[in-house]
Amino acid sequence: MKNFVLFGKPGSGKGTQAKHLSEKYELYHISTGDLFRKNISQNTKLGLLAKSYMDKGGLVPDEVTIKMLENEIKDNSKSRGFLFDGFPRTIDQADTLDKYLHSINMQINATIALEVDEKELISRIIDRGKTSNRLDDQDIEKIKNRFNEYNKKTSTLIKYYKDQNKFFPVNGHGSVDEITKRLFDLIDSFNLL
């Protein structure tokens, strides 16, 4: 089983590229943001809790996020591998994920980071907000808060995965197809799948 983390700031194209990657490599795509949004649309208790953080552009607390993630892995344990999108976002999440995967004889094989500059990200998110119905895409203060959360809590994961020799940056500028090709070339070069 091969498992990948798709890493990057909000708006860097993780969700879009995850669809292409999961299809080509038959990976089960887990997006914690999508799972929260599904819970919100179904008015679950978890959705209500998550919404109070997401609407402000803050991170949902680790214990809630980690539990949801573990359930999603358990429910799909027959998959060929997982593609994590938007998870982990904190060192605690990364540590728990490593320990959990280890306990079921798995590991993260690579963390692939989509690198895009913030000016471009803001314009992509505002553009997406015109059709996404996401409150956190429509307000510049919320978008800035998401970047702050990334800089404070998530960016430390770069060192975390570099120290494990599992961090692979990819240029996230250009057309969707160009970026997909860069990602395919990188993953193929691992000779894992």
The distance from CA 57 to its chain's CA centroid, rounded to whole angstroms, is 15
3-state secondary structure of 167: strand
Min separation Cβ 36 and ligand AMP, Å: 5
Q: Give the whole-angstrom CA distance, residue 171 versus residue 173.
A: 6
CA atoms within 13 A on the CB side of 46: 17
Check binding of 39 to ligand AMP (CB under 6 A).
no
Under 8 Å between Cβ of 177 and 166: no
Q: Which range binds ligand AMP by CB under 6 A, 84-92, 97-105, 110-118, 156-164? A: 84-92
Check binding of 157 to ligand AMP (CB under 6 A).
no
Check binding of 59 to ligand AMP (CB under 6 A).
yes
Instruction: Candidates 39, 146, 147, 167: give the one binding ligand AMP (CB under 6 A).
Output: 146
Q: Give the whole-angstrom CA distance, residue 92 versus residue 153.
A: 10
Residue type, 65: T
User: Tokens 């800089």 — which residue?
Assistant: 151
Residue 13 corresponds to which tokens in the numbers above?
């194209």
Min separation Cβ 153 and ligand AMP, Å: 9
Instruction: Candidates 3, 4, 6, 10: give the one binding ligand AMP (CB under 6 A).
Output: 10
Question: Strand 110-115 and strand 82-85: pairing?
Answer: unpaired
Min separation Cβ 191 and ligand AMP, Å: 29
Residues 91-120 binding ligand AMP (CB under 6 A) are 93
Check binding of 154 to ligand AMP (CB under 6 A).
no
Q: Which range binds ligand AMP by CB under 6 A, 38-46, 74-82, 83-91, 95-103? A: 83-91
Instruction: Candidates 22, 32, 39, 180: give the one binding ligand AMP (CB under 6 A).
Output: 32
Min separation Cβ 7 and ligand AMP, Å: 11
Cis ω for the linkage preceding 88 (within 30 of 0): yes
Check binding of 73 to ligand AMP (CB under 6 A).
no
Under DSSP, the state recorded for 80 is: S
Angle in degrees, CA 41, 43, 45, rounded to 5: 130
Q: Residues in the site for ligand AMP, rule: CB under 6 A?
A: 10, 32-33, 36, 53-54, 57-60, 65, 86-87, 89, 93, 136, 146
